[in-house]
Amino acid sequence: MADPATPPQTNQPLIALITGAAQGIGRAIALRLAEDGLDIAIADLKSQRTNLDGVAEDVRAKGRRCIVLECDISQEEEVLQMVQATEKELDGLDVMVANAGRIIVKPMVDTNLADFDGIFNTNVRGTFLCLRTAAQAMIRRGRGGRIISASSVAGKKGMPLNSIYCASKSAIRSFTQALAGELGPHGITVNAYAPGPVDTLLLQSSAEACAKYIGLPDAKTFLQGYQTNAALPRIGTPEDIAGMVSFLAGKDSAYITGQTLTVDGGVWMD
């Protein structure tokens, strides 16, 4: 049985699998872990293949192996195939980063079951499938590992216009706590990162929707209001989040598990 305080010891490079890796935070995580010396499997929807191929080129330019996988994480068989392909083509799986997710901006009274199912199928069902399948693979291999998921500051405090999204990200926080207790004896740590607003295309579209609902002129005005309440008055970057994932994937986090770590410039303070 692996020692939970010690990362896997091997002469071979560690292997990381990142979902939602075609752009934004996922892309930044893939590049940062490649810089850290890991070989990388990147996954996203089939519609994102062109972007995925571009990320793979950037990873390989850093001297790391990289494979590209098309996967809808809400589909059990596709997640199983994604993990199996990673193990087969890269000789293992040491770090699972369940980054893929969706957001919806709507008052709860205006939402319907299709809205609910769309978010929960990706954020909750999909994350569950990724965590479970990765954990099974790591247990079989017996080398320990790191499982890391994307929660959100919205998973720690409910926010107007984001009720379904908030609930889905709160579920990931609970997954993290429960699974950490189950996997500790196997030398596998389980943590999550909880971003605030991060400068991505997803942020721009959601901020525009929020601004429209509350009567602000544009997304910029909405985000300025957020920055006013932050200890560090700026919007986060994908690289800010990638730095946290790098830490959680590395040896210096060996005694940290079951945590959902906020990266939001100091708006939410535990």
Task: Indicate if the alpha-carbon torsion angle 80, 192, 126, 4 is positive or negative.
Answer: positive
The active-site residue out of 46, 165, 212, 251 is 165
Token code pair at residue 147? 């499982």
Residue type present at position 222:
F
Tell me the C-alpha to C-alpha distance, in Å, between residue 180 and each of 142, 148, 159, 193, 220.
16, 11, 27, 14, 39
Rounded Cα gap, residues 121 and 101, in angstroms: 9
Rounded Cα gap, residues 27 and 20, in angstroms: 8
Residue 16, beta-bridge partner list: 40, 95
Rounded to the nearest angstrom, the gap between the alpha carbon of residue 3 and the centroid of all alpha carbons in its chain is: 25
Contact 240, 32 (CB under 8 A): no
Q: Report phi then psi at 222, rounded to 5.
A: -60, -45
Token code pair at residue 34? 């490649």
Of the candidates 230, 265, 264, 261, which has an alpha carbon nearest to the alpha carbon of residue 247?
261
The active-site residue out of 88, 106, 157, 169 is 169
213 is catalytic: no
Tell me the C-alpha to C-alpha distance, in Å, between residue 65 and each of 42, 59, 68, 157.
11, 7, 10, 39
165 is catalytic: yes
Active site residues: 165, 169
